[in-house]
Amino acid sequence: MVILHDPSCTRYHAPGHPERPQRVAATVELLRKRHPDWVWQQPGPAGEEALLRAHPPAHLERLTRGPDFDADTAFLPEIAAHARLAAGAALAAMDLALDRGGKAFSLMRPPGHHATRNRAMGFCYLNHIAIAALAARARGVERVAVWDFDAHHGNGTEAILQGKPGILFAIVHEEFSYPGTGTAHTANCRNWALPPLSPRADHLAALNASWDSIRAFQPGLVLVSAGFDAYAGDPLTDMYLETEDFRTLGNWVRESGIPSAAILEGGYSDHLPELIDGFLCGWNGAT
């Protein structure tokens, strides 16, 4: 397992914001302690060419100045650099999956799946997973699948990947939760919207169906928007997944044998490190 991480991603915060540095800092500590054999790599920032596949120049420029993008998504002087580094980590994870058939996880912030082509929103500034998916297509991968199990709908990813040839986007999320989108299937974006407080078994069944759609697509690469806020103890959502369920999701990815990379999206409970570890252990095949 390769973990893409740059400690600088913990060096910004907006006071009182749930997307806080400790999410990643505590996960680093736990993974280093439990898995001394895992390889840590420091990513570089994403290049202009890769960013411009998903975002226009005007959006990249907007990230460099205020005012705040919305009430949840602050402008910070260094935020563009942080977002570019997280996008670079997603690209590096994708490259590792394709070049070495390895398993690579980007443990960075900010997250990305709410960022649309033109708009930073929902704690997200650049859409790292869409940037990586489009880069994989540019590398010549015929079919790229993106799987998003964050409790919130990946509206930005959907908006950017909508109608893109050779790409399937499958997402399971909490209906009516932020940002309120994702209630219908479209040509290449498949949504499973679950009502708040859905039973855990229903949620797992939807995840299973979404994963089946990915396998049926027979992708040469799976990119996972790994968000952990569908956890029963998450303060921002009303869903009931348990730690072992994230391990199950990791098991599915491993058992498919498809080259895969994953990046951290949401997840706001104090148990986030354990949830990430569960997913990674399932994916890695550790017992």
Residues with Cβ within 8 Å of 94's Cβ and at least 6 positions away in sequence, in order, are 104, 132, 135, 136, 221, 223, 261
Whether 178 and 167 have beta carbons less than 8 Å apart is answered as no
Smaller CB distance to Zn ion: residue 45 or 227? 227
Cβ density class 160-191: b for 16+ within 10 Å, e for less: bbeebebbbbbbbbbeebbeebbeeeeebbbb
Told to check if 150 binds Zn ion by CB under 5 A, we report yes
Cβ proximity to Zn ion: between 266 and 278 the closer is: 266
- What is d(CA 239, CA 198) in angstroms, rounded to the nearest whole number? 6
Concerning whether 114 is annotated as a catalytic residue, the answer is: yes
As to burial, measured by CB atoms within 10 angstroms (0-12 exposed, 13-18 middle, 19+ buried), residue 18 is middle
Stretch 251-280: interaction string toward Zn ion, x if CB under 5 A: ---------------x--------------
Q: Is 174 in the site for Zn ion (CB under 5 A)?
A: no
Q: How many residues bind Zn ion (CB under 5 A)?
A: 5
Query: Considering beta carbons, is residue 158 or 229 the nearer one to Zn ion?
Result: 229
Stretch in the footprint of Zn ion (CB under 5 A) among 95-103, 129-137, 143-151, 153-161: 143-151
Residue 122 is a binding residue for Zn ion (CB under 5 A): no
CB of 47 to Zn ion, least distance (A): 27
- Output the furthest CA–CA distance in the chain (Å, rounded): 48
Contact positions toward Zn ion, by CB under 5 A? 150, 152, 227, 229, 266
Residues with catalytic roles: 114
